[in-house]
Amino acid sequence: MSLTSFVALPEVKNRLKQEYETPRIQCVQEIQISPRTQSYGLTGTAFDYLMRFWIETLNLNAETKRWVAESSVVLLEEGQLPASSALKKTARKLLREAVTCHSDYIKTCKLNDDIISTSIQLAQLDAIYRAGYIDPNLGKVDKLIIDEMRDMLKLAKEKDFTAKSYCALNPVFGEASLLVGGADADLIMDGTLIDIKTTKSGKMDMSQFHQLIGYFILNKLGGVNGKQIKINRLGIYFSRYGELVTFPAENIENDKFPQLVKWFRKTAENTQ
């Protein structure tokens, strides 16, 4: 299970619907970069990696965590998923090359096909850990996705992602993350928790709102990367629009919030 699947459970979804009305938040302009393939999930995960790498070049003191793709390779090596020796060798090779490519990109800040391809390959590996899915095209990269991701990254504004004091990439929520089978957000910056979405829609829907609430609750329960972080705002970066939209966290933390947190924890524990 994941946070996304947990908040989608009927019991959880109905409780959150009862407590909160989904804010009417949407992008101002029209979509700028439309999908060029039908590999929506792969493109979205790959862009998450690329976007976080780019943000890291803007915030060299950012807190970073081990890539989920690294956990995928561990799963294969330990035999927790059936895999041939050839597949294991390919996964190790891709990860080794990704580490080198990422390091070079952080040093040079030069966006090229190599770092974009690396992001796509990491996304392919990522699916092994998150969904137990082994991409039959592991290691192969579609040029259309490379071009699409490059154009999306060009929309991102440095001022929106340059932190004044604190930046955490792919933050986790301590033991609270384990309540929902593991949970990691995309970005926390100066008290704002941001989820990166590569969707065609530029409007925040109920499931996205509930996911943000879930992250907010997990932070209350377990902190971020081993410490308590005050989250003042929540938001979504719509990568196909180049727009970051946020709203105050106080809209969530009302008088009933403490009871909701207790219910959330108990429900998660009972669901495991």
Q: Strand 167-169: give its sheet, edge to edge.
A: 167-169, 187-189, 192-197, 233-238, 243-248
Which residues lie below 8 Å from residue 47, measured CB to CB, with a gap of 6+? Answer: 119, 149, 152, 153, 196, 198, 239
For residue 1, pLDDT over 80 is answered with: no
130-134, 187-191, 213-217: the lowest-pLDDT one: 130-134
Q: Is the pTM of this model over 0.85?
A: yes
- Position 21 scores a pLDDT of 95
Closest of 230, 217, 207 to residue 257, by C-alpha? 217
- Position 56 scores a pLDDT of 98
d(CA 81, CA 69): 14
- Position 124 scores a pLDDT of 98
Which residues lie below 8 Å from residue 204, measured CB to CB, with a gap of 6+? Answer: 22, 23, 25, 26, 236, 245
Taking each helix axis from N to C terminus, what angle separates 206-222 and 10-19, rounded to the nearest 10 degrees? 90
- Cα-flanking dihedrals φ and ψ of residue 195, to 5°? -105, 130
Q: How confident is the model at residue 272 (pLDDT cuts 50, 70, 90)?
A: confident
For residue 210, pLDDT over 80 is answered with: yes
* Percentage of the chain exceeding pLDDT 90: 93
Helix (H, G, I), strand (E, B) or coil at 190: coil
21-38, pLDDT tens digit by residue? 999 999 999 999 999 999
Taking each helix axis from N to C terminus, what angle separates 85-108 and 68-77, rounded to the nearest 10 degrees? 160
- Position 132 scores a pLDDT of 92
- Position 182 scores a pLDDT of 86
- Position 225 scores a pLDDT of 87
Mean pLDDT of all residues in the chain?
Answer: 96
E strand or H helix at 39, and its extent?
Answer: none
- Cα-flanking dihedrals φ and ψ of residue 41, to 5°? -65, -45
69-127, pLDDT tens digit by residue? 999 999 999 988 889 999 999 999 999 999 999 999 999 999 999 999 999 999 999 99
d(CA 241, CA 128): 29
- Position 220 scores a pLDDT of 95
238-269, pLDDT tens digit by residue? 999 999 999 999 989 999 999 999 999 999 99
